[in-house]
Structure 1
């Protein structure tokens, strides 16, 4: 019985040494995995191309054309009335 106890004590020591070695190896490998610490990923924004505004925008051209048409219509109506009064 004493011999069986010594064998079981030796086996227990061997198992404990193996477990300690495995725990040490896992602990060292885990510390190297986090050696640099966490850094957030850098997301670069895509460049935005801004078109320069042209000198003649449709917002200005359309009212200008309407004003010209109104001026032409006003001048035609005034010339029509003057020609009818002379007859």
Structure 2
């Protein structure tokens, strides 16, 4: 009976040693999400504000 238990324990321990393989792991590329501007007026607001400041400064 001891030999049967010992054989079962050794065979269980031996099967875990061969669980993996030697191939390279598969790594998926990360997903890149680009944010887009919500409106086209956002890019023109700053130059218009600067132009208004220059116009006010020139009027004084």
TM-score between the two structures when normalised by the length of structure 1: 0.38
Write 1 or 2 for the structure with the bigger share of helix.
1
Taking structure 2 as the reference length, the TM-score comes to 0.48
Rg comparison, structure with higher value: 1
